[in-house]
């Protein structure tokens, strides 16, 4: 590149000095003419000439320095604004002169920029905090589709840290299909955190002139399950009401029959008929009572009362209640901040299902405990026939077992979610059978000493 053409004009400071000298030149010329024509003594004339020339040059140079000083001050203020330093202010910003007006305007500009930058930083900090705390996964990709930004929810979704994911291509993360799909879609997908229903949104934005892509993934499963649970709670209350209406006349009939058998005289076969009726009514009332209590449990599940509990003894107690097959327990001893009664009931249900499944194939049962920096996981594995209909696993009232109530797994998942965790059941990848996986968040667990 050729150098820019040289500017042959005089510098501003030089022109300013020449103008100042030119303004005093007529007066100096008149003094010289007067000294030449006067009869003043030579020594006095030399002194006057020296004072005249010195004052002329001194005032010209002082005027130049005065103007250049203030221009340099204004230049420094503008440079500070350009560099983003809004703390500098010009002094002596008078209202009565033009220089003061310029300084005051620059000061006001610096204050406006300071407030604007402060507002932008506060807004950015708020946005960053919102992105960190929301339970929605946010991913930002560069123009070549490499991950540039991920929030904690995204880390949990992919079960990896932001450090490990930074710079990874979308194809390697399994997200490239979403970047090519519709702007908004709802899909069933299996992420490392689990399978569920997800809402996918994507958008484009620019940073430093470069095109970027934003991907937002929302878990719809929890919201849908919560709505489903509330709907079933309303249904359960209706069923309970109807059952109470049925139990009342049954119990009344039982009392009437009890009074009947005490009357005299009675028919010869009254005892057999009355006894049979009482047995039927009693059995029906007892069955309906059990039915109502089991289903009402879903609507009345209390909030967990958490305390530090050793997990392994809890599993051992639950396994000992059903000794049809031995249960192998693997993993280090851990403490968890949980409601022991609720989690024990959850484990009892999972182990009973595992026993039922393993009994069909003469299989084995195993419980594994693991913990990382995010969560505690308890896995109940069996080598039974596996899950034939996974879509109905957590549907209340649905059961394939004779005499089953259909609320066991629903109650287990409700207990897990009440602890801030999750429960999933799926067929094993390493062989026949099923794995039930209970996950509790890291905040509820700690390694025991």
Q: Going residue by residue through the chain (449 aa), what tens digit of pLDDT does each one get?
A: 455 566 567 787 888 888 888 888 888 888 888 877 777 777 877 888 888 888 888 888 888 888 888 888 888 888 888 888 888 887 766 667 777 788 888 888 888 888 888 888 888 788 778 878 788 889 999 988 899 888 988 888 888 888 888 889 988 888 888 888 788 888 888 888 777 788 899 888 887 778 888 999 888 877 767 777 776 676 666 566 556 656 666 776 677 677 666 777 766 666 776 776 677 677 666 656 665 665 666 666 778 888 888 888 888 888 888 878 889 998 876 788 888 888 888 888 899 889 988 888 888 999 999 887 778 889 999 988 888 766 656 655 555 555 455 567 778 888 888 888 888 888 888 888 899 999 887 654 443 32
Question: 327, 383 in Cβ contact below 8 A?
Answer: no
Which pLDDT value is given to residue 407?
65
At the top level of CATH, which class does the domain 134-219 belong to? alpha beta
Only one residue has tokens 């009939």, namely 253
Question: 415 — phi, psi (to 5°)?
Answer: -65, -45
Beta-bridge partner residues of 139: 150, 215
Which pLDDT value is given to residue 435?
92
Which pLDDT value is given to residue 42?
74
Which pLDDT value is given to residue 222?
72
Measured CA to CA, the distance from residue 417 to residue 1 in angstroms comes to 68
Measured CA to CA, the distance from residue 422 to residue 412 in angstroms comes to 9
- CB-hemisphere CA count at 13 Å for 379? 16
- Alpha-carbon separation of residue 196 from 159, 190, 406, 425 (angstroms): 15, 7, 21, 12
- pTM value > 0.75: no
User: Domains of the chain: which residue ranges?
Assistant: 12-83, 134-219, 224-299, 307-447
* Closest by Cα among 202, 153, 150 to 176: 202
Take residue 192 and report the two structure tokens written for it. 């490392």
Per-position b or e across 120-148, b if 16+ CB within 10 A of its CB: eeeeeeeeeeebeeeebbbbbbbeebebe
Question: 401, 362 in Cβ contact below 8 A?
Answer: no
Question: 339, 306 in Cβ contact below 8 A?
Answer: yes
Question: 419, 307 in Cβ contact below 8 A?
Answer: no
* Closest by Cα among 21, 7, 87 to 56: 21
Residue-wise pLDDT for 237-293, tens only, equals: 656 655 665 666 677 667 767 766 677 776 666 677 677 667 767 766 665 666 566
Which pLDDT value is given to residue 444?
46
Question: 426, 195 in Cβ contact below 8 A?
Answer: yes
Take residue 282 and report the two structure tokens written for it. 């009693």
Q: Do domains 134-219 and 307-447 have the same CATH topology?
A: no
Q: Which CATH architecture has domain 307-447?
A: 2-Layer Sandwich (3.30)
């Amino acid at each position: 590149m050729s150098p820019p053409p040289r500017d042959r004009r005089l510098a501003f400071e030089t022109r300013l000095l020449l103008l100042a000298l030119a303004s005093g030149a007529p007066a100096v010329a008149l003094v010289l003419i007067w000294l030449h024509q006067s009869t003043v003594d030579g020594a006095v004339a030399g002194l006057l000439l020296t004072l005249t020339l010195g004052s002329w040059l001194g005032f010209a140079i002082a005027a130049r320095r005065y103007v250049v000083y203030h221009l340099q001050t204004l230049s420094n203020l503008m440079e500070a604004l350009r560099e983003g330093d809004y703390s500098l202010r010009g002094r002596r910003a008078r209202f009565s002169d033009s220089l003061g007006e310029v300084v005051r305007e620059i000061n006001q500009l610096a204050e406006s920029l300071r407030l604007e930058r402060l507002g932008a930083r506060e807004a950015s900090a708020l946005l960053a905090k919102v992105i960190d705390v929301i339970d929605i996964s946010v991913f930002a990709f560069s123009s070549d589709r490499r991950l540039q930004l991920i929030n904690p929810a995204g880390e949990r979704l992919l079960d990896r840290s932001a450090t490990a994911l930074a710079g990874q291509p979308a194809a390697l993360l399994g997200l490239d299909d979403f970047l090519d799909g519709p702007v908004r879609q709802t899909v069933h997908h299996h992420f490392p955190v689990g399978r569920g229903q997800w809402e996918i949104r994507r958008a484009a934005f620019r940073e430093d002139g470069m095109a970027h892509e934003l991907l937002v993934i929302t878990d719809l499963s929890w919201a849908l399950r919560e709505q489903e649970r509330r709907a079933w709670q309303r249904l359960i209350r209706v069923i309970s009401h109807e059952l109470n209406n049925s139990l009342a006349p049954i119990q009344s009939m039982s009392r009437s029959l009890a009074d009947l058998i005490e009357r005299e005289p009675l028919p010869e076969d009254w005892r057999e008929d009355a006894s049979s009726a009482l047995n039927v009514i009693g059995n029906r009332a007892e069955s309906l009572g059990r039915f109502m209590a089991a289903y009402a449990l879903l609507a009345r599940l209390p909030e967990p009362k958490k305390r530090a509990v050793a997990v392994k003894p809890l599993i051992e107690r639950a396994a000992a209640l059903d000794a049809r097959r031995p249960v192998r327990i693997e993993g280090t001893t851990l403490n968890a901040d949980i409601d022991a009664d609720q989690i024990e009931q959850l484990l009892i249900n999972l182990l009973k299902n595992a026993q039922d499944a393993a009994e069909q194939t003469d299989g084995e049962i195993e419980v594994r405990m693991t913990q990382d920096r995010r969560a505690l996981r308890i896995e109940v594995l069996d080598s039974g026939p596996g899950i034939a209909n996974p879509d109905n696993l957590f549907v209340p009232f649905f059961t394939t077992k004779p005499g089953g109530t259909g609320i066991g797994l629903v109650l287990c998942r409700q207990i897990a979610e009440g602890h801030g965790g999750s429960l999933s059941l799926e067929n094993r990848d390493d062989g026949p059978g099923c794995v039930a996986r209970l996950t509790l968040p890291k905040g509820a667990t700690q390694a025991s000493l």
